[in-house]
Amino acid sequence: MSKLTPAPGQTVGPFFGYALPFAKDNELATPGSAGSIRLHGTVADGAGDPIPDAILEIWQPAADGTIVAETGSLVRDGYTFTGWGRASTGATGRYTFTTVNPGATRRGVAPFIAVVVFARGLTNRLFTRAYLPDDDDALAADPLLASLPGDRRSTLIATREPDGGLRWDVRLQGDGETVFLDFDGGALAGGRDVSGERA
């Protein structure tokens, strides 16, 4: 099998607002429907300022842990769970999704929502995860979380709110910088300093 070199990413730029958003893009579930929850938070930069021109996508299992293969995310019928959604941040850097709690894909594994972040000023997409906070044993057994120091680990775990919703903030840089993931190995990820220094 041939191995090809992937094309580089580029910033989403400032003008995606008329192209990428669509009606009900952030409604994986209909607000108010049984089992629906709000997942929301703020995207902030290295100065702690909100980023008003970021766009997030989430991809998750259904409530029973099934990974669905349903089309219809772009033209939602209000009933079919497609597992995928998109939300732009507003003027205050806030994003909101309506979704369901993802189920565990296998017994005992920690459920999480896969997230990809795009923004003006961000030269390439960033992958991360938002874990549900509820199952301490499953979180403790999670290989990714176990590989992180405690202060960084917490950036990947959402907070359960009194109304059952989830709060999860994204910090691109600085105090509480979110852990972003490299699935492909350093040279493909672009995270390394181009001066050749290695952290």
Partner 1 sequence: MTNPRQNTQQEMSAEIQAIASGYRDSVAAGGAVLTQPSLDYAPYRSSILRHPTKNLHHADPETIELFSPAFGHQDVSPLEADLTIVHHGEPQGERIKVAGKVLDGDGRPVAGQLVEIWQANAAGRYIHKRDQHPAPIDPNFTGVGRCITGSDGSYAFTTIKPGAYPWKNHLNAWRPAHIHFSLFGNEFTQRIITQMYFPGDQLFPLDPIYQSIVDQDARDRLVATYNHDLTSPEWSLGYNWDIVLTGSKRTWTENEALGEDGEHHE
Of residues 82 through 121, those in contact with partner 1 by CB under 8 A are 82-84, 102, 105-106, 109, 112, 114, 116, 118-121
Q: How far is the CB of 162 from partner 1 (least distance, A)?
A: 27
Q: Which is nearer to partner 1, 142 or 165 (CB)?
A: 142
Q: Which of 136, 151, 163, 193 binds partner 1 (CB under 8 A)?
A: 193
The string over 108-120, giving b where at least 16 C-beta atoms fall within 10 Å of a residue's C-beta and e elsewhere, is eebbbbbbbbbbe
Q: Which of 31, 35, 72, 90 binds partner 1 (CB under 8 A)?
A: 72
Helix (H) or strand (E) holding 129: strand 126-131
Cβ pair 85, 20 in contact under 8 A: no
CA angle 46, 8, 90 (to 5 degrees): 40
Cβ pair 152, 179 in contact under 8 A: yes
CA angle 93, 112, 172 (to 5 degrees): 30
Q: Which of 79, 97, 126, 130 binds partner 1 (CB under 8 A)?
A: 126
Position 185 contacts partner 1 (CB under 8 A) = yes
Q: How far is the CB of 96 from partner 1 (least distance, A)?
A: 19
Q: Which of 23, 69, 91, 163 binds partner 1 (CB under 8 A)?
A: 69
Query: Total residues contacting partner 1 (rule CB under 8 A)?
Result: 87
Position 38 contacts partner 1 (CB under 8 A) = no
For 13, 80, 195, the CA distances from 156, given in Å and listed in that order, are 26, 28, 29
